[in-house]
Structure 1
Amino acid sequence: MGDQARWLVIVEKAYRGSIETQYADVLYCVPDLHRQSGGCDVALRGPAVGYALDTGPRPTLRLGDHTLDTLPHPPASVAKLLAAGVTVLVEEDGLAALGRTAAERLLPGVRVIEGDDLAARWPSYEQVWFL
């Protein structure tokens, strides 16, 4: 069948996670999609662009005498995607909305694109998914 075309996965909503989600976040399934398809590109738009920023270490949450250190940490998930060979794109407008220093805090390997560029790329993908 030859080489498969890549899939585009778009994430627009930023969800910080909660006790219920623990180790998983919206990006949790992307490495498997990448491995099982011809490869994935992930586009982060709007508030989800913040997932690609270096925010320091994963926070912990103290509830009474219990410490939760298994909460999702989106920058760690993005770093894992990059290490797996997933292309991670962030839209310029979403990055600008996070402040003038946001671009300086982008994780290494994340690519910035203009918003119009994303729609222009759609025909080159086998599938486009919104997570």
Structure 2
Amino acid sequence: MDINQKKYKINVKSISTKRMLGIDTSKFNGRQNPSGFLYTYYKSNDNTIIIGYAKSLIDLETKKELVGYNLIDKRPGIQSEFRLLKHSLNLQGYLQDSYIDSYFLSKNLMHKLALLGWPIGDKDNTKKIYKRMMKNS
């Protein structure tokens, strides 16, 4: 097992454990981190998603200006959780398409995001996205 795989397993265990146990991640090293929102946007015509972090609802609303993207889901979270997810995805070979953290959508990616507790919507919403994904491919 190489170093990248070990780092990925540690990252996955850390995020998953915190999510399953309901540990409050707003405190880190004894100091309060500003809480914001973790979000996922979806664009059906090119089958991509954007994952990200916004400091406030106002920041999240400005993201709606992204042409063709629809908000799938959001939840409270902290920026370090977003950075950790991006790092884990990069270790698994999911590379960003551009500077806006856009990823090509696949069932495997959605599954990994769900396991890590990332906001991807409810089951009905996810099924709709899968159907669109299959139709576009």
Sort the TM-score into its range (normalised by shorter chain): under 0.3
Structure-1-length-normalised TM-score: 0.26
| TM-score normalised per structure 2 | 0.25
